Amino acid sequence: MVTRAALRVGFAGTPGFAAAALDSVLAAGFAVPLVLTQPDRPRGRGMQVEASAVKRMAQQHAIPVLQPATLRHDDARAAVLAVPLDVLVVAAYGLILPPVVLAWPRHGCLNIHASLLPRWRGAAPIPRAIAAGDPATGITIMQMDAGLDTGPMIATVTVPIAPRDTAGVLHERLAAVGAAAIVDVLQRLARDGALNCTPQPAEGATYAAKLDRVEATIDWALPAAGIDARIRAFDPVPGALTHWRDEAVKIWSAQASSARAGAPPGTIIGVGADGIDVACGEGILRLTLVQPAGGKRMEAAAFASGRAVRPGMRFGPPAPAG
């Protein structure tokens, strides 16, 4: 048995999801001699150069931080491999770990992945699960190997997806679950000196590709329920997008109905205090919260009033020039 303080736990991560895990690992009393995170980059509307959430937390605890732009080359990883570790916890780090890095800690590298593997391997498991209409997702703690989220599983925790969950809301819930799960796994490692792993199932694998802004444009020919799921999946980024005449409009909240629209997809069939009803390929979608380009989020009813939106008009791509 090794005490928590004696187990040398490195940490590699970048955004808030990872920072929640680092916070829990530190609060549980584990020694963290090194943190890896992405280089500081411009962020936000002002494009000010900012440190990652993980770097800021590491600095608060006076933990040494390394920020290599890549780990593919010997000179880039020399300083990293010079620090002896028992285990490396990885959460939304953003860099590929080559075999020499995977073999660096005595007990290898443990990844906190925000899905129930093998479903939704890849960079965007949270929005992909919502967009697909999955009833549940979860956290998988896995032993990393050279594949993309293909390593054997150490622990899984199932998390239901509520009907109105956005990617942002589910992200916060999964971050908390992942933070608790990795602490439990590290406690087992400290107690037993080893971890039991289970190979991932051979069937059921899906790939969660990184979100593309092109995907955010609403296709009104889809069923209303599917569009609603995509709106929630793309909240907070990149935001589901449509056009009112030549004006880009993001849709932040909507309600799907299975009622027959009796009009071409994208056609506005009703405007009222509760929102704007739009015909879809199947059913009707009531828009309730929207954001015109350059403006603030607003009730759909206010948007309709300010732009004289009436039944028979249409949402869709902007009219071609000329």
Question: For 66-107, what is each residue's pLDDT tens digit?
Answer: 999 999 999 989 999 999 999 999 999 999 999 999 999 999
**pLDDT score recorded for residue 187:** 97
Q: Average pLDDT, whole number, for the chain?
A: 95
The count of other CB atoms within 10 Å of the CB of residue 146 is 11
Q: What average pLDDT does the segment 133-154 reach?
A: 97
pLDDT tops 90 at residue 3: no
**pLDDT score recorded for residue 70:** 95
**pLDDT score recorded for residue 1:** 59
Q: What average pLDDT does the segment 272-276 reach?
A: 97
Of the pLDDT bands very low, low, confident and very high (cuts 50, 70, 90), residue 65 is: very high
pLDDT tops 80 at residue 240: yes
- Residue 321: CB partners within 8 Å, gap ≥ 6? none
**pLDDT score recorded for residue 173:** 98
**pLDDT score recorded for residue 114:** 98
Q: What average pLDDT does the segment 156-168 reach?
A: 98
pLDDT tops 50 at residue 308: yes
CA distances from 257 to 89, 206, 276, 283, 286 (A): 44, 29, 13, 6, 8
CA distance 195 to 97: 21
Of the pLDDT bands very low, low, confident and very high (cuts 50, 70, 90), residue 47 is: confident
**pLDDT score recorded for residue 7:** 96
Q: What average pLDDT does the segment 196-217 reach?
A: 94
pLDDT tops 50 at residue 322: no
Q: What average pLDDT does the segment 181-192 reach?
A: 97
Q: What average pLDDT does the segment 99-128 reach?
A: 97
Cα torsion angle, 79, 83, 84, 89, sign: negative
**pLDDT score recorded for residue 53:** 97
DSSP reduced 3-state for 207: strand
pLDDT tops 60 at residue 257: yes
Reported in sequence order, the residue ranges of the chain that DSSP labels E, i.e. its strands, are: 9-13, 35-36, 41-43, 48-50, 65-66, 87-91, 109-113, 121-122, 136-143, 153-160, 207-208, 240-244, 247-257, 268-272, 275-279, 284-292, 298-299
pLDDT tops 80 at residue 2: no
Domains in the chain with CATH codes: 4-208 (3.40.50.170), 213-306 (3.10.25.10)
**pLDDT score recorded for residue 317:** 74
Q: Among 46, 197, 233, 208, which Cα is nearest to 109's?
A: 197
- The percent of residues above 70 in pLDDT, for the chain, comes to 97
Segment among 123-132, 144-153, 210-219, 227-236 with least mean pLDDT: 210-219
